[in-house]
Amino acid sequence: MNAPHLPKLLAFAQSDQDQLIAQLQYLTVENQILRGKLPKRVSLTKRERRRLIRFGKAVGPALREIITIVQYSTFQKWLRTNKHKNRRSKAKTGRPPTRRDFKKLVVQMAKTPGWGYTRILGELRKLGIMSVSRSTVRSILKEQGIEPAPDRTEPVWDKFLKRHAATLWSCDFFTKKVLTPSGLKRYTTLVFMHIKSRRIIVTKSTRHPTSDWMCRVAETFPKMVKELGLQHPTILIRDNDVLYSRDFNETLQREGVKPHPLPVEAPLMNAHIERWIKLLKTECLDHFIPVGGKHLDYLISEFVEHYHFERPHQGIGNRLIINRSPPVVTGEIKCDTRLGGLLRHYFRAA
């Protein structure tokens, strides 16, 4: 990776959602200014076009709003041409084409992060496949539209999340000041999230998150997962908060759950639960001063019910997390509320 891009990537990694939006808006304006100082038409190499196609496809229809180097219609034409090109086979003279199963093996090896042409060639030689050269490996990958290793490496953490999503949970703490007879006191709550389904489990809030309290939570966590009808958890990712004691980790391991501490100062690696806690605060808790711990637990439980059964989730196509049946298109539209009208949702009466 080129050194000039490192500060930008570090800035993105340390930003929250609002900061990311502001940074992207700035970069868009900066790009427009730079484009205005260039010729109307910018010539691209084949490799540059392939990279634009690769990253542009990941953006989807939203690319229409940000693409500037060419017209969006031109980019769509590139996609169609590239698609037909991959399907089309040409008869060639001279050396016979590489066997299909061999090509499949090379492409499979190329999916390993960091494996370049030479690394793949070495792996083939280890398997006794000697009638192949580095240029052959390069030709196969180019034919499949696969970039060299530095350009096609995917985030390892993203692969980890996808591989273990069915039994992977994350957790994090949040605090809230509660009005008590002795004044405002800080209460602590522990939240668990199932990465695949986005289901939430919230503990009762406490003023004293002791090691004994943490161990009791660790013991009951697998039982609460079972009550939701989900698979037994195998991995729990967490940050490095001091409340995650050795006794907490040992209790989890006895229950068949492996705690997975995250690197220090890496909030984006636990972004799902961080985003949910922010959602809970902005849409619910920031509008109240809870009077006692029971009031705080009630507010949280009402929001969790709203989140599970009534609030569409953008991460799963704006569907409900629970009860994802097709929407009813007939019947009178009504509005139901929770917490004095703060939380609203619309439904069709049967």
Summarize pLDDT for 116-133 with one digit per residue, the tens: 888 888 888 878 888 788
* Tokens 């698979």 sit on residue: 231
d(CA 98, CA 100): 6
d(CA 189, CA 287): 18
Q: Are strands 258-261 and 235-238 parallel, antiparallel or unpaired?
A: parallel
By CB atoms closer than 10 A (0-12, 13-18, 19+), residue 183 is exposed
**Does one domain contain both 32 and 176?**
no
d(CA 62, CA 54): 15
d(CA 14, CA 269): 11
- The pTM assigned to this predicted structure is 0.56
Task: Note whether residue 338 is domain-resident.
Answer: no
**Does one domain contain both 145 and 234?**
no
**Does one domain contain both 174 and 304?**
yes
Q: What is the CA radius of gyration of the chain?
A: 26
Backbone angles phi, psi at 291, to 5 degrees: -105, 90
**Does one domain contain both 16 and 138?**
no
Partnered with residue 184 across adjacent β-strands are: 179
What is 38-89 written as a DSSP string?
A: S-SS----HHHHHHHHHHHHHHGGGHHHH--SS-HHHHHHHHHHHHHHHH--
- Residue 1 pLDDT class (50, 70, 90 cuts): very low
d(CA 8, CA 282): 28
Count of domains forming the chain: 3
Considering 72-76, 98-102, 307-311, the range whose residues carry the highest mean pLDDT is 307-311
Task: Note whether residue 21 is domain-resident.
Answer: yes
Structural domain boundaries, residue 38: 3-80
Say yes or no to pLDDT of 47 above 70. Answer: yes
Q: Which residue has the higher pLDDT, 273 or 51?
A: 273
Task: Note whether residue 342 is domain-resident.
Answer: no
Q: Which residue has the higher pLDDT, 204 or 74?
A: 204
**Does one domain contain both 313 and 196?**
yes
Backbone angles phi, psi at 141, to 5 degrees: -70, -40
Any idea which of 48-52, 210-214, 284-288 has the lowest mean pLDDT?
Answer: 48-52
